[in-house]
Amino acid sequence: MIYLMGAGFATEAATDRIRMLPDFRKATRNMAMAYASLESVVASTPAEVIRETGLVFGSSHGELETTKEFLKTLAEQKVARPIYFQNSLHNSTVGFLAMKLGLTAPTITLSNGMHTAEDVFEAARTLLLDGAVDTVLATVADGVVAELRSVMEMNHGPTGMGLGEGAATLLLTTRPEKFAQPWIARFAEGFRIVRAAPSAPARCVPNADSVPDYDTNLLERLARAVNDAPSGAFFVARRDGGFSEIAWERPA
């Protein structure tokens, strides 16, 4: 059984505040947003638990700020700077977060377009059920860079999903007794891919926004849905005509 122990979301104010801190002087917006979503979750969790907690980070587009600088330098100076290319990858984000949090457990980063958030949830579930760790931070973050907006929108395909930015974190565990606070919800059915007719609509019980405000915010929508109903199932339409299902129940 997997339990939800906490959830955090980035706000504009928190992201801007973090970017002003000396330790975050060179942090990208993605890094600051991701850390903003982690702050409250980490603050309410014992330090010894956090150190042994795994981290699964996902970003649909990666470090676009650095990608923009790489492309700009290449176009204007005809120089492909290796440091820009290296830092444009989303593993630079997860490395930054792991160092800031002092994590010693496994960290994973992944990117799969519009399915990034559900893949983050699945990877976190796999780490937990395989016994690699008993607590995982599942985090997603995506920012928008104006100069690359048209390319980002092309990557969306015919989904009709809005383009925006944000970050969210879920704290998941198989050992709720390690925490002082009670668990928020548990995922009795875990996560599964369900086949459905191509015309099957995406739906969430309770209903979620039909147009998310950023492309990897499934974790945020899930956390908010869990807070709205004692039980339910969260469905996400897939391009292959199926859908992903995450079922939950709250304490009686």
Query: For residue 85, what pLDDT is reported?
Result: 52
Average pLDDT over residues 133-161: 72
> What's the predicted TM-score (pTM) here?
0.79
pLDDT interval class at 252 (50, 70, 90) = confident
Residues of the chain above pLDDT 70, percent:
66
What is the chain's mean pLDDT, rounded? 76
Question: How many helices (H) does the chain have, and how many strands (E)?
Answer: 9, 10
Q: What is the pLDDT of residue 189?
A: 52
User: Got the DSSP string for 226-246?
Assistant: HHH-SEEEEEEE-TTS-EEEE
List, in order of start, the domains of the chain with CATH numbers.
Answer: 2-179 (3.40.47.10)
Cβ–Cβ under 8 Å, residues 211 and 160: yes
In eight-state DSSP terms, residue 202 is P
Categorize the per-residue pLDDT at 200 as very low, low, confident or very high, splitting at 50, 70 and 90.
very low
Can you name the residues that pair with 57 across neighbouring β-strands?
Answer: 109, 139
